[in-house]
Amino acid sequence: MNKGRLFIVSGPSGSGKDTILAELFKICPEIKFSISSITRDMRENEIPGEKYNFISKEQFENMIKHDELLEYNRFVGNYYGTPKEPVIKAIEDGCDIIVEVDVNGAAQIRKEVPDCTSIFILPPSLETLKVRLKGRGTESDDKINARLSCALDEIKRAEEYDYIVVNDNLFESVSELCNIIKLDRLKTDRNINLIEKILNE
């Protein structure tokens, strides 16, 4: 059986990557999503096991110790990471799986799984990014500026990715991401068995 592939999706806050991914999973339910393990408290609208598994710091440090993470990060006293086992299992089972991480997480994963495909979601312009960040209307100017500064630091590293999807139009972006994943299935290293089948007929 053909193996699946790991896809890394990154993009700054305001790039719209969460919306793109939510729509993608509606039209491509066969694609798996890697659930992160995190140690921060659960927020009101969050469902355990949907996007995150909420675990204790002790459990997380145990995972670090046993090399059970593809990547991890510590931020404001909490751990965030990608468990290795479900990703490796999906690939072995022939499933495509998406990991949503930041640029640092992506760099760590590329070392562990070199034959992954990575996609960076780019806002169409800085102006649009500012409007989107302000549009949430829930944060102070200082917080918005901090987010913008982080976004620019992420965009500086977009060159490390295989593909750039400019999120100007949601439907186009979803379609592009979907096609990147589907076309990856035509890559030669995933079809050696077809070649061999014909030669052995």
Q: Which CB atom, from 81 or from 123, has the smaller least distance to a second copy?
A: 123
CB of 53 to a second copy, least distance (A): 31
Per the structure block, which two tokens stand in for 28? 């491509």
Q: Which CB atom, from 90 or from 155, has the smaller least distance to a second copy?
A: 155
Distance CA 120, CA 164 (A): 5
Q: Contact, 85 vs 113, CB < 8 A?
A: no
Q: Which CB atom, from 10 or from 39, has the smaller least distance to a second copy?
A: 10
Contacts of 111 (CB under 8 A, 6+ apart): none
DSSP-derived 3-state class of residue 75: strand
CB of 34 to a second copy, least distance (A): 22
CB of 58 to a second copy, least distance (A): 40
Q: Which residues lie near a second copy (CB under 8 A)?
A: 120, 122-123, 125-127, 129, 152, 155-156, 158-159, 161-166, 176, 179-180, 182-183, 186-188, 191-192, 194-195, 197-199, 201
Contacts of 178 (CB under 8 A, 6+ apart): 24, 27, 28
Q: Which CB atom, from 28 or from 166, has the smaller least distance to a second copy?
A: 166
